[in-house]
Amino acid sequence: MTRRYFGTDGIRGRVGDPTISPDFVVKLGWAAGRVLGGEQGGTVLIGKDTRISGYMFESALEAGLVAAGLDIRLLGPMPTPGVAYLTRTFRAAAGIVITASHNPYDDNGIKFFSAAGDKLPDAVELAIEAEIDQPLVTVPAARLGKARRVEDASGRYIEFCKGSIPAAMSLKGLRIVLDCAHGATYNIAPFVFEELGATVISIGTQPDGFNINRDVGSTKPQVIAERVRMEGADLGIAFDGDGDRVMMVDASGRLVDGDALIYVIARSRLDEQALRGPVVGTLMSNLGLELALRRLGVAFERTQVGDRYIIEALRRSDGVLGGEPSGHIICRDRTTTGDGIITALQVLAALQRAGHGLSEAVAAVEQYPQVLINVRLARRTDVTQLAKVQAAVQAAEQELGERGRVLLRASGTEPVVRVMVEGMDPEQVQTLADRLADLVRAEVGA
């Protein structure tokens, strides 16, 4: 069956669009309640990031779920991985997060977690889509659900994060800059690192409903890099709007992306004899990561872009570590989904065990020059099927030979085509990427 609403990570779009509107979200909540709760009902947790529209969609989801006979527990602002964790601990039927992740405030979306804290299987998402087409029928008044707020949700998740590293480990003596992107980690991440002993300088912790991800966060790492240098900090940690991604910078302000962070954790797990299965990356993972892991004797597997594909591959191989260059990293031996705070803590634990700084830890990862250009489209089009684009990709691949890669792919969460070129010569890589991006703009309209 063809998906109509769900993308690679829930449902997302511009607020006011047909699928990101109050009436649709009421129906979505009702349909999800029917599928996930069944005749038995149950409890659903709802968390959100800090977008102004989150209040509206929280109420809409609540109305739909209650009409389907499910009880609601409102978590308030909560990182996406925090909702996954709390869904498990509350023994809830499902967890829902209202977020558009790293997108600007005028976008929003809905993400779902199963009772086990995993992303929903395709079959369940398709069942929800099918239920949306049915007339909304409210259960009898005696079976209506109830809603209440969970007052200690943040504290529970903070303790879970702290428990992901050895109890004896302390961050005392570390000076860390945290960038919370004015998003869902703003009232959680600073407490986690402070309670573990670090001196924390926080930025991006004053959300106003409109400034989420604006000039801060993991998509704007130059901000935290400058602050680390200014403060003389040991390192910086930047999250995205919903807290499932993380980027770091070393003491000199140099960016350490998801690929390099995966290497640090993999090497530490290997030293502890706790690394099972291959490390899993995606088509976007830098060739430098693959080669660095190969030198350690660690297998590396690539999947399609998207954390659901990484998690599927890890399950098949019983692996424990995978992720993307964007900083969406899954430490499956600690939690069920990508978690920026957990990932950062695993990196800090690895540095402490090894007794050196972040710059030394990532020195073995030689990043191949890689250019990524996001082309925003006027309309959704599969550009890979256009004859001129196919010919241009083939020509670029021939020019690079075996010393590089070309990848064009449509984003699963926004009307964007990502043009990626990787190779040995930075000038050649930039030229080819610009050429392909210009062709896409000319062929499709941007």
For the segment 311-337, the average pLDDT, to the nearest whole number, is 96
297: left (phi over 0), alpha (psi -120 to 50) or beta: left
Count Cβ atoms within 10 A of the Cβ of residue 60 and give its class: 0-12 exposed, 13-18 middle, 19 or more buried: buried
Q: Given a cut of 70, is residue 152 above it in pLDDT?
A: yes
Q: What is the per-residue pLDDT across 22-74, written as a single tens digit (0 to 9) for each?
A: 999 999 999 999 999 877 789 999 999 999 999 999 999 999 999 999 999 99
Of residues 400 and 182, more confidence is placed in 182
**Token pair belonging to 354:** 């090894």
- pLDDT for position 320: 97
Q: What is the per-residue pLDDT across 220-230, written as a single tens digit (0 to 9) for each?
A: 999 999 999 99
Where residue 349 falls among pLDDT bands split at 50, 70, 90? very high
Q: In the annotation, is 326 catalytic?
A: no
Q: Which residue has the tokens 């009421």?
A: 26
Of residues 378 and 352, more confidence is placed in 352
> pTM for this one?
0.89
**Token pair belonging to 263:** 């290497």
Average pLDDT, the chain: 94
Among 329, 320, 363, 365, CA closest to 347? 329
Q: Which residue has the tokens 């703003």?
A: 186
- pLDDT for position 3: 81
Query: Measured between alpha carbons, how far is residue 246 from residues 293, 364, 415 in Å?
Result: 21, 20, 23
Q: Given a cut of 70, is residue 89 above it in pLDDT?
A: yes
Q: What is the per-residue pLDDT across 195-227, written as a single tens digit (0 to 9) for each?
A: 999 999 999 999 999 999 999 999 999 999 999
- pLDDT for position 53: 98
- pLDDT for position 173: 95
Greatest mean pLDDT among 335-339, 372-376, 442-446 lies in 335-339
> Which strands sit side by side in the sheet containing 255-256, from one edge to the other?
199-203, 175-179, 235-239, 246-249, 255-256
Among 117, 102, 101, 118, CA closest to 308? 118
Tell me if 50 sits within 8 A of 182, measured CB to CB. Answer: yes
Q: Given a cut of 90, is residue 81 above it in pLDDT?
A: yes
- pLDDT for position 412: 65
Percentage of the chain surpassing pLDDT 70? 98
Residue 299: half-sphere exposure toward Cβ, Cα within 13 Å: 10
Task: Name the active-site residue from 21, 53, 101, 326.
Answer: 101
Across 95-104, 206-215, 359-368, 405-414, least confident range: 405-414
For the segment 368-378, the average pLDDT, to the nearest whole number, is 88
Q: Helix or strand or coil: residue 44?
A: strand
* Domains along the sequence of the chain with CATH: 11-151 (3.40.120.10), 157-361 (3.40.120.10), 370-444 (3.30.310.50)
Name the packing angle between helices 153-162 and 80-89 (round to 10°).
100
Q: Helix or strand or coil: residue 317?
A: helix
- pLDDT for position 401: 86
- pLDDT for position 41: 81
Q: In the 8-state DSSP scheme, what is residue 120? A: P
* 423: β partners: 404
Where residue 256 falls among pLDDT bands split at 50, 70, 90? very high
**Start-to-end C-alpha separation, the chain:** 30
Query: Measured between alpha carbons, how far is residue 248 from residues 230, 236, 254, 341, 446 in Å?
Result: 16, 5, 8, 11, 32
Q: Given a cut of 70, is residue 125 above it in pLDDT?
A: yes
- pLDDT for position 413: 64
For the segment 73-95, the average pLDDT, to the nearest whole number, is 97
The Cα–Cα gap between 215 and 186 comes to 15
